Chain A
Amino acid sequence: MTRRIKIDNATWLLAGLALAIAPHAARLPVWITLLCLGVGAARLFSARLPVRGLLAAIAAAAALGVYGSYHTLLGRDAGVALLVVMLALKLMEIKSLRDSMLAIFIAYFLVITHFLYSQSIPTGLYLLLTVAVLSAALIGLNYPGKPLDTRKRLRLTAVLMGQAVPVMLVLFVFFPRVPGPLWGLPGDAYEGLTGLSDSMTPGSISKLSQSGAVAFRVAFDGSPPQPGQRYWRGPVLDSFDGRTWSAGEKPGWKADPVGVAGKPVGYTLTLEPHNKRWLLALDLPASLPTASSLSATYELLADAPVRQRLRYHAVSHTAYLAGADIGAAQRRRALRLPPGYNPRARELAVSWRKSAQDDSEIVRRALALFRDASFFYTLRPPLLGENSVDDFLFNTRRGFCEHYAGSFAFLMRAAGVPARVVTGYQGGETNPLGAYMIVRQSDAHAWTEVWLKNRGWVRIDPTAAVSPQRVESGLAAALPEGEPVPMLARLDSAWLTQLKLAWDTFNNRWNQWVLGYGQERQYDFLSRLGLEMASWKELAVGLAVGVGALLLAFSVFMLRHPKTGTADPAAVLYRRFCSKLARAGVVRKPGEGPQDFSRRVAGLRPDLAARVNTISKLYVALRYQPHPRPAWLQRLKELVRSFKA
């Protein structure tokens, strides 16, 4: 055990630790990053170690600091912060091989925590590099004495990691996967996942729309539906408190039966995790994926919150008749309005009720209002006052889909037409390279459903009345120049579009096959290989056979004997010299040492004695001296070449 780690090892170790900590720096409180930098600098420029007592005091202070920053020591974020602090302090007390190796093991563990935040391809590549540097540091630590040559160090790292990759692949494919967590996850495990919410206030969807993140990808069994039909149904909001539309308490009845017409549309949807129960489905789903149910308002709900990328197949009908006959309770629920708010809008709705012949006409009038009056579709609407609907309809007239859907539903209810707000996504970008459609958070949308006699729940999209392009061509086309549309939702130049679609295709494969490799995928993949492996036992056998075969192959390759003599050029030259002598009649006996042989030759052929002696001495020096000079080999080569017996 060396008292102090060698400088080359210290450099590799520090580089590895820095790489392992760096991506966390953006998420950690600034003081932890500063602590790490300070410790790193101290280790790099000073050989002195702090006294144990001081270190304990710093450790206690740091733990308090973590508690101060997160108000807990448990959970994902605080846990990572503690681990980073621990690693930094470990670095302060490294003095033996044991400490250094422990620091590397902690750093390996820290690498895995990055995957809690991102498992993208760039993250994966970055962390692969980190693991390589850490492993190179580990190799150097186990090389006592002088510093390990960098080329040797890197070559060994590459060989070890290269040989480990096939082992990893076998383990990855065969290791039995269990669905779901083994125990409860900390509350903050899924923080930061974006998606629709179960309530809608003016501004909530326009905020979501500025994110270019992928909401889901969908591959259609046949041809995709027309753009105007691509309404992806999410949470349905049928309670209004004067400002916010929300899902409200669960109704006591079941979903009314749905009559369908036309051709069914089948599709496989891969939903990004959003930590809520909704599964998105094309309006209106007719079949249910496994572990899901249909709510009273035709929302497709998973049995548990979607916390991992989820893949499911569903069938929808774009032509349907839903809830042809609704009960009084359901009707009452779809007409509820809080008293007092928005008097002008109520007045307008009541005036429509009085003059209109039926509900359809009221709907037409409301849509006409949006179409004809100077309403403006924008991602940056002005703030609204207490009576938000009044304010929007009569003053600002600038808004995003939630303003239109919300005020339309309000007007309908005020006029006595059952109505509700439906949120979800509208549109999507086709990726011809991967034959699927990408739907992003920027495609988030809100529309309404009104109940009309004989027609049931009918989808009305008031935004389409204001900006028909929104529905036909997507967000970027519908918004004027200068709006903060996410980069990926913009229609860019052709090659950029191609590039980004190619990248998304690759990403999709990564998501589907690498990140989404769970129990189902595993079964699916192995049966494709012709291996019907359902049970743990069979998987374990496959795993053992695969890893065993690989290690056997490596060991046969690594431990085989080299062909004698091929390795050492000096031995080859000496053999050539011996065969030259043998042709002249002087044969070296088996087991006769070079020096004995040289003496014997000198006795038999005194004319050759001097040269034979030189060659033998050179050969012995090359073979048995600890540090033979390359020049000797060159000399031996010349001597043997010119030797004549």
Chain B
Amino acid sequence: MRWTFPDLIKFRLFNREVLKRIFNRIGAETGPVTLDRQRVFILPTRHGLTFAFALLLMLVGSINYSLSLGFALTFLLGGMAMVSILHTYRNLAQLTVRAGKASPVFAGQQASFSICLDNGSGTERLAIGLTGETQPPHYVDIPAAMTICARIVLPAPRRGILRLGRFSLFTRFPLGLFHAWSRLELDASCIVYPQPDSSKLPTPALADREGTSTRLIEGSDDFRGLRPYHSGDSLRHVDWKAMARGRGMLTKQFAGVAQPELWLAWDDLAGMETEARLSRLCRWVLDAQDAGLSYGLRIPGDTLEPDNGEAHRCACLEALALFGIGRNRDQTH
């Protein structure tokens, strides 16, 4: 699509698409979005209006005193303001925006969304502002033909799915007389795990194959060997001695045969409120993973067979996060 000036000056407010955008009637969009002319708006700032008033005074003075150079200066400054519209507009137009993945967080933490801005043009874009609904603006420079990722940090007060929601890209560069902006809603979300219970209540009983219960103990009976450390492995199982000898981070592995299975069950927490139960289960999942146990999760509508490891932990936490919500329902604040 080529840009021409008539496109810019055409009074596009009566365009249905534009009206929708102005009133935010468009839902979240998937995939990268390029800021075309229907998405970038530009209006004078308060400083722009002050400047216009100053120019008017200068013009009146020049007329009154017949100052030819006064006219020249007024028109020069006016011309600068006019071309600054183009510069401010160009600074934002044709920028391609993608929302990156956001790592899951626990409720009460801050979710951090990565917004990648791809500058396909041959000119550097300076002072592009990025602001979420509540976040103070964060400014980035995007060199020519480069992509820069910035972050929008949102508070995640409750478990569930946190949507990125609307955010704005804006710029006032270079003269600050005009404000170009584009409001976007990209389909990006972050899973918010329940807040782990902070109480030091006893962990649930271990259920062995025969069904007899034992207390949760460390599964440290049968040392089987070493394997490279994976993130999520308990630090207690790192072979620190090997590390001190310069062999890198290694995790001690124990034979799983004797490993008792631990079921973390919704029903064990009868009498508690839903969210409190989820918090407690979350705490148990973390503790069990930490202890290197093989644990399973049983909640209404979902059962995860006992296992251990980062992927299993995430699956369990996700099941807790989405309990009673489902993947497709928004979290409402």
| Residues of chain B from 107 to 127 with CB closer than 8 A to chain A in the complex | 116, 120-122, 124, 126-127
A558→B139 CA distance, assembly (Å): 23
Mask for B144-183, Cβ within 8 A of A = 1, else 0? 1111110000000000000000000000111110000000
A116 touches B83 (CB 8 A): no
The reply to whether the CB of A330 lies closer than 8 angstroms to some CB of chain B is no
A141→B45 CA distance, assembly (Å): 15
| Residues of chain B from 62 to 82 with CB closer than 8 A to chain A in the complex | 62-80, 82
B69 touches A124 (CB 8 A): yes
B144 touches A567 (CB 8 A): yes
The reply to whether the CB of A360 lies closer than 8 angstroms to some CB of chain B is no
Mask for B122-138, Cβ within 8 A of A = 1, else 0? 10101101000000010
* Cβ distance A482 to chain B, nearest Cβ, rounded Å: 39
A555 touches B5 (CB 8 A): yes
Choose from B2, B57, B148, B175 the contact partner of A560 (Cβ within 8 Å): B2
B76 touches A142 (CB 8 A): no
B8 touches A555 (CB 8 A): yes
Choose from A144, A145, A516, A561 the contact partner of B94 (Cβ within 8 Å): A561
B69 touches A515 (CB 8 A): yes
The reply to whether the CB of B203 lies closer than 8 angstroms to some CB of chain A is no
Interface centre among A152, A171, A515 (most CB of B within 10 A): A171
A141 touches B176 (CB 8 A): yes
Supposing A101-B47, A559-B3 touch, asked if A567 and B86 sit within 8 A by C-beta, the answer is no
The reply to whether the CB of B199 lies closer than 8 angstroms to some CB of chain A is no
* Cβ distance B281 to chain A, nearest Cβ, rounded Å: 37
The reply to whether the CB of A68 lies closer than 8 angstroms to some CB of chain B is no
CB nearest neighbor in B for A144? B139
The reply to whether the CB of B207 lies closer than 8 angstroms to some CB of chain A is no
* Cβ distance A556 to chain B, nearest Cβ, rounded Å: 6
B90 touches A119 (CB 8 A): no
Residues of A within 8 A of B63 (CB): 178, 181-182
* Cβ distance A439 to chain B, nearest Cβ, rounded Å: 23
Supposing A124-B69, A175-B71 touch, asked if A164 and B76 sit within 8 A by C-beta, the answer is yes
The reply to whether the CB of A109 lies closer than 8 angstroms to some CB of chain B is yes
A84→B116 CA distance, assembly (Å): 47
Mask for A153-181, Cβ within 8 A of B = 1, else 0? 00010001101111110011001001111
Supposing A142-B175, A560-B2 touch, asked if A551 and B82 sit within 8 A by C-beta, the answer is yes
A264→B80 CA distance, assembly (Å): 51
A515→B124 CA distance, assembly (Å): 40
A559 touches B127 (CB 8 A): no
Mask for A465-504, Cβ within 8 A of B = 1, else 0? 0000000000000000000000000000000000000000
B66 touches A567 (CB 8 A): no
The reply to whether the CB of A45 lies closer than 8 angstroms to some CB of chain B is no
Residues of B within 8 A of A165 (CB): 76, 79
Residues of B within 8 A of A185 (CB): 64-65
Residues of B in contact, count (CB < 8 Å): 63
Choose from B51, B62, B90, B94 the contact partner of A112 (Cβ within 8 Å): B62
The reply to whether the CB of A127 lies closer than 8 angstroms to some CB of chain B is yes
Residues of B within 8 A of A561 (CB): 2-3, 94, 120-121
A185→B66 CA distance, assembly (Å): 11
The reply to whether the CB of B328 lies closer than 8 angstroms to some CB of chain A is no
A161→B80 CA distance, assembly (Å): 6
A558 touches B90 (CB 8 A): yes
A551 touches B86 (CB 8 A): yes
A145→B73 CA distance, assembly (Å): 31
B4 touches A552 (CB 8 A): yes
A294→B144 CA distance, assembly (Å): 71
Residues of A within 8 A of B2 (CB): 560-561
A109 touches B54 (CB 8 A): yes
The reply to whether the CB of A237 lies closer than 8 angstroms to some CB of chain B is no
Choose from A131, A551, A558 the contact partner of B73 (Cβ within 8 Å): A131
The reply to whether the CB of A35 lies closer than 8 angstroms to some CB of chain B is no
A142 touches B173 (CB 8 A): yes
Supposing A131-B76, A559-B3 touch, asked if A116 and B67 sit within 8 A by C-beta, the answer is yes
A168 touches B75 (CB 8 A): yes
CB nearest neighbor in A for B124? A152
* Cβ distance B208 to chain A, nearest Cβ, rounded Å: 44
A171 touches B62 (CB 8 A): no
The reply to whether the CB of A641 lies closer than 8 angstroms to some CB of chain B is no
The reply to whether the CB of A224 lies closer than 8 angstroms to some CB of chain B is no
* Cβ distance A561 to chain B, nearest Cβ, rounded Å: 7
A555 touches B127 (CB 8 A): no
Mask for A557-579, Cβ within 8 A of B = 1, else 0? 01111100011100100000000
The reply to whether the CB of B61 lies closer than 8 angstroms to some CB of chain A is yes
A127→B122 CA distance, assembly (Å): 34
Mask for A176-220, Cβ within 8 A of B = 1, else 0? 001111110100010000000000000000000000000000000
A112→B120 CA distance, assembly (Å): 41
The reply to whether the CB of A58 lies closer than 8 angstroms to some CB of chain B is no
| Residues of chain A from 535 to 562 with CB closer than 8 A to chain B in the complex | 547-548, 551-552, 554-556, 558-562
| Residues of chain A from 100 to 135 with CB closer than 8 A to chain B in the complex | 101-102, 105-106, 108-109, 111-112, 115-116, 119, 123-124, 127, 131, 135
* Cβ distance A261 to chain B, nearest Cβ, rounded Å: 40
B174 touches A139 (CB 8 A): yes
Residues of B within 8 A of A560 (CB): 2-3
CB nearest neighbor in A for B74? A112
Interface centre among B6, B77, B116 (most CB of A within 10 A): B77
The reply to whether the CB of B21 lies closer than 8 angstroms to some CB of chain A is no
Supposing A108-B54, A109-B57, A119-B67 touch, asked if A164 and B5 sit within 8 A by C-beta, the answer is no
Residues of B within 8 A of A551 (CB): 5, 82-83, 86
The reply to whether the CB of A453 lies closer than 8 angstroms to some CB of chain B is no
A172 touches B67 (CB 8 A): no
Residues of A within 8 A of B146 (CB): 568, 623, 628
B122 touches A547 (CB 8 A): no
Given contacts A139-B175, A167-B78, 6 further A-B contacts (CB under 8 A): A127-B73, A131-B77, A164-B83, A165-B79, A181-B66, A561-B2
The reply to whether the CB of A514 lies closer than 8 angstroms to some CB of chain B is yes
